[in-house]
Amino acid sequence: MTAGMSQTRKRRTSLGLRGCLLTTMAVAAASSVGFAATAPSAIAADAQLKQWYLEPMHAEEMWKTTTGEGIKVVVIDTGVNSSTPSLEGQVLKGLDATNADGDETDDYNGHGTTMAELIAGTGKGGGLRGLAPGAKIIPMRVADTDFQNKNSVNAYDTADSIRAAADSDAQIISMSFGSEFKMDREIEAVKYAQRKGKLFFAAVGNEAEKGNKAIYPAAYPEVVGVGATDKQGKVSDTSQHGDFVDIAAPGDDLPFWCDENFERYCQGNGGTSAATAITSASAALIWSAHPEWTANQVLNVLFDTAGRGDWEKGTLSNYLGHGIIRPAVNILKGTGDPGEADISPLTKEKTSGSEGSGAPSASASSQPEKKDKAEDAAMAGSSTEKNDSSQLGLILGGVAVVLVIGGGAFALVRKRRSA
């Protein structure tokens, strides 16, 4: 299944069952923006203005300090079309792990290209504006259920992609893809990526109302599981929850490529797919601003600056993990504790030496149980930031939407759930 714009769930019946990506692209009918009969400027206005999270996240202000330059992000997905105007010059050589016809730039349904644009799109030609437009994308193509049903593919494509990502010079791995099933080869690849000092984000899935099972690789202890929030500031109804959720980001009601010919964008729920891409871009901004930091320190700052409202620091939510991403709190205010370079924020274990990235990595250990679940609500900003005239407390870091009422005041919309 695709971690995003949700439709029917199809399961992969061979080894490594993963179901359609965490988002299928059907429903192209809903609110589409077409290239055919529309001028590029109009397309830009339509698609880019629908990226509602950029303003409350203070993207324009952050880009004056950093755009993510110097950071490379591996996108493990359906492929990335490097020919879209927004990705021109943004996509580097990657890997087609499917072993089917085509290569990693042959995106068979548009999902991977959407994720890449949300991370590093320049916005040219009416394309989506990435939160880290200075970053570069390394695409790794894997097969979703539909693609697998039509082609003879490599059963270990995700594991092979993760290992290749670990061996690349990318700092971040973004994977809006998942399965209900663990696979030994994938587990070893994930641990290998951690030993290489990579920061790995994955979507937790969009079937909270249809079983809410743990999704891998997001549920592996070495991977940052990303949940989604909607435009109103609530945890997305479809965003899966459990102790595998580490952080959350905006995901609902966003533009996406809705056809394999790349002729139009549609509006829909990118869900945890989009949230993962936006979180990866947030990490790219922070890492670019602090290139001397390790993956552990970048992640620790993401956790430390996450929006929690009056939720006590140190508590975790089954729905939001540490809270809602707010990279501007670090980029614009310089706050956020990077912590120890060799301590994993995920496992709390001391990390071993890197095998090649130059950054220390976390040891392979099981993730500690997340206790003292916080009130599961979409929150933005701590109470101490509510009167900040710079409105940094409004950084919609993910879910939370803080609704601006005027001046520096705002209301916090919550959605209460039992843990």
Strand runs labelled E in 119-178 = 136-141, 172-175
Q: Give the pair of three-digit tokens for residue 189.
A: 């690849």
C-alpha distances (whole Å) from 408 to each of 154, 377, 392, 398 are 54, 22, 10, 20
Helix (H, G, I), strand (E, B) or coil at 278: helix
Residue 160 annotated to the active site: no
Helix (H) or strand (E) holding 188: helix 184-195
**Options 32, 82, 86, 273, the catalytic residue:** 273
Dump the DSSP string for 366-383.
PPPP--SBPP-----S-G
Strands 247-250 and 224-229: parallel
Rounded Cα distance, 19 and 148, in Å: 10
Residue 322 annotated to the active site: no
Rounded Cα distance, 134 and 119, in Å: 9
Strand runs labelled E in 278-370 = none
Rounded Cα distance, 388 and 172, in Å: 32
Q: Give the pair of three-digit tokens for residue 216.
A: 């891998």
**Options 82, 106, 107, 111, the catalytic residue:** 111
Q: Judging by beta carbons within 10 Å of its beta carbon (0-12, 13-18, 19+), is residue 13 exposed, middle or buried?
A: exposed
**Options 77, 157, 160, 252, the catalytic residue:** 77
Kindly list the catalytic residues: 77, 111, 273
